[in-house]
Every structure is written in C-alpha cells, then in structure tokens.
C-alpha cells in the first residue's frame, strides 16, 4: 500500500492531477459560457476547438490563418522584449556594481529603484509611450525597466553573500580591487545573477505584450486586444495566451541552460 501511495504522490502524478483539474474546470466553464451565448463566438472555447484552430487552414483575415497571424506577430514582440531585456541586464548589473563599490550609492539609488518598481506597469506603460512617442521604443524601455530591478537587487545580494573569509583570503594575498571583483565577487554572484535573469526574462516578455495592447501596429498584444474585441476570431486570442505562456516558461529554461553552460560546477547548498 505504501508503494501505491508513494506512486500516486510522485512528482509526475501531482503534475498530472494539476493538468487534469485544469482541463475539468476549463471544460465546465466552457459549457456554461456556451449556453449563455451572447456573442457570435464562444469567448471560452472548448480545448479541442482551440487545438483544431491551430491546424485550421481557414483564413481569418485577408490572407492569413489564425496561426499565421500569431506567429508573424510573435517575432516583433520577442525582438523588442529581447533588446529591452539585454539593456535591462546591462543597466542592472552596472547599478549592482556601483552600489556595491560605494555604500552612499546604495543609500541614494536603492529607494528610487524601489519606487520605479512599485509603479504598476499598467500605469507606467502609457507614460513611457507618451514620452518616447514610439511603440517600438516603449516596448524596449518597459522590458528594460522590468528587467533591471531583479538583476540589480539579486546581483547585489550575490556580491554581499560572499563570506568574510573569502574576502580576508584575498586581502591576505594583497589582491587588487579589480582582481577581487574579477576572481571573487563576479563569479561568486553568478547564481544570484541568474536568479535575477530567471525572474525578469518572463516579465520582460509579458511587459512587451502588454505595451502592444496600447496601440495598433502589430505585436502579440495588439492582436490579443483586437481578437478580444471581435475584430478577428477569438481563437487568435487563445492561441496567443497559450503561446505566451510557453514562451515565458521557455525563457526561464533558456536562462537555466545558459547558467549551466557557463558555470559547470554544481551549486553547493550553502
């Protein structure tokens, strides 16, 4: 009996329960909404309908199928999110270095970081758009804004996590300050830095999609809002929702893979 219980509570089974539960709830809601039917299409289609729509050859606008619309708009969003992400990493890392080198900088800069981070992205997006007057630039700026804070704070925490003895060893070997960073602080903070990246990568993508919704001109978010407003089929909406979720998760795993590639040692539980 213990074995059965163990098998039923294994990690894979828990995931299976979770997926099953989601499917059941989804389908119940889909049925309920189907019966209320006030709109031309069921806003919450059955899962098999969404799956079908992915492979459907029907054109939903002039010359594209639902899937073609989704994929052709993914590129533009991801590219801007990616550029913003890289800028955010650079700015965040630089801030972490400066805050670690000068304690006054930490005192001065940190409250501002907190404030920027506390402004809801929904409120910030229109302001950034108004300031840059360009949807592409806004996507980049917002993705960068969301990225730099987790990178800066986590990297700074990484610098500070270095044990006193490791510093003392460097001191006893009369190491130059640049060597202390190059050979101790930067490598030691890598796991923390990557924690920051894993938090911010999906956020940068989400933010970029959100900025799309503010204005026409393409991008996943733009299609998302058009689809929801019945300018085109609702299946585009759901395809984008699932695709965004997959991209978000994939971006997280991409960061893990890069981390494993550049730090081959296994992490020590300390």
Partner 1 sequence: MAAATSITKEYQKFTPMENETDTEIKIEDLWVKFPDKNGGEPVTALQNINMDIKQGEFVSLVGPSGCGKTTLLRTIADLQPPSTGNISVRGKTPREIRLQKKYGIVFQNPVLYEWRTVRRNVCMPMELMGLPKKYRTARVTEMLEMVGLYNFGKLYPHELSGGMQQRVGIARALAIKPEILLMDEPFSALDEFTKEKLHEDLQTIWSKTNKTILFVTHNIQEAVFLSDRVIVMSPHPGRISAIVDIDLPRPRTLATRDTTEFNALVSKVRNSFEGV
Q: Please identify which residue in 17, 18, 102, 171 interacts with partner 1, judged by CB under 8 A.
A: 171
The reply to whether 268 sits near partner 1 by the rule CB under 8 A is yes
The reply to whether 183 sits near partner 1 by the rule CB under 8 A is yes
The reply to whether 265 sits near partner 1 by the rule CB under 8 A is yes
Q: Please choose, from the candidates 191, 209, 216, 212, the residue with its C-alpha nearest in 3D space to the C-alpha of residue 245.
A: 209
Minimum distance from CB of 268 to partner 1 (Å)?
A: 4
Q: 6 or 177, CB closer to partner 1?
A: 177
Angle between helices 121-132 and 135-160 (to 10 degrees): 130
Contact 248, 206 (CB under 8 A): yes
The reply to whether 266 sits near partner 1 by the rule CB under 8 A is yes
The reply to whether 179 sits near partner 1 by the rule CB under 8 A is yes
- Looking at 33-41, 146-154, 164-172, 203-211, which segment touches partner 1 (CB under 8 A)? 164-172
Q: Please identify which residue in 7, 169, 231, 246 interacts with partner 1, judged by CB under 8 A.
A: 169
The reply to whether 177 sits near partner 1 by the rule CB under 8 A is no
Q: Please identify which residue in 173, 229, 257, 261 interacts with partner 1, judged by CB under 8 A.
A: 173
Q: Please identify which residue in 36, 172, 229, 261 interacts with partner 1, judged by CB under 8 A.
A: 172
The reply to whether 55 sits near partner 1 by the rule CB under 8 A is no
Q: Please identify which residue in 20, 116, 163, 231 interacts with partner 1, judged by CB under 8 A.
A: 163
Q: Please choose, from the candidates 76, 77, 50, the residue with its C-alpha nearest in 3D space to the C-alpha of residue 206.
A: 77
Site string (120-159) toward partner 1, x via CB under 8 A? ----------------------------------------
Residues 185-244 that bind partner 1 (CB under 8 A): 187-188, 190
Cβ atoms within 10 Å of 69's Cβ, excluding its own:
24
Q: 93 or 238, CB closer to partner 1?
A: 93
Q: 27 or 259, CB closer to partner 1?
A: 259
Question: Whole-angstrom Cα distance, residue 71 to residue 108?
Answer: 44
- Looking at 7-15, 29-37, 92-100, 161-169, which segment touches partner 1 (CB under 8 A)? 161-169
Q: 4 or 174, CB closer to partner 1?
A: 174
Binding site for partner 1 (CB under 8 A): 163, 165-166, 168-176, 179, 183-184, 187-188, 190, 263, 265-266, 268
């Amino acid at each position: 009996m213990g074995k059965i219980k163990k098998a039923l509570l294994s990690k894979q089974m828990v995931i299976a329960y979770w997926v099953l539960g989601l499917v059941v709830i989804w389908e119940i809601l889909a049925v309920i909404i189907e019966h209320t039917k006030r709109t031309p299409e069921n806003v919450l289609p059955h899962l098999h309908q969404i799956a079908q729509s992915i492979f459907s050859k029907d054109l939903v606008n002039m010359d594209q199928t639902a899937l073609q619309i989704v994929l052709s708009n993914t590129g533009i969003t991801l590219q801007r999110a990616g550029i913003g992400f890289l800028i955010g990493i650079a700015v965040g890392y630089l801030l972490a270095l400066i805050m670690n080198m000068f304690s006054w900088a930490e005192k001065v800069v940190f409250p501002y970081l907190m404030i920027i981070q506390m402004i809801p992205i929904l409120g910030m997006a229109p302001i950034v758009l108004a300031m840059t007057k360009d949807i592409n630039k806004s996507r980049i700026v917002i993705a960068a804004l969301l990225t730099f804070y987790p990178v800066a704070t986590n990297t700074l925490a990484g610098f500070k996590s270095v044990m006193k003895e490791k510093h003392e060893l460097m001191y006893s070997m009369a190491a130059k300050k640049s060597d202390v960073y190059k050979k101790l602080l930067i490598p030691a903070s890598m796991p923390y830095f990557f924690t920051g990246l894993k938090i911010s990568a999906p956020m940068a993508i989400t933010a970029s999609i959100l900025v799309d919704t503010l204005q026409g001109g393409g991008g996943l978010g733009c299609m998302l809002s058009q689809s929801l407003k019945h300018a085109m089929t609702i299946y585009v909406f759901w395809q984008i929702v699932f695709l965004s979720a997959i991209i978000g998760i994939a971006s997280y795993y991409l960061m893990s893979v890069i981390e494993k590639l550049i730090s081959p040692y296994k992490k020590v539980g300390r």
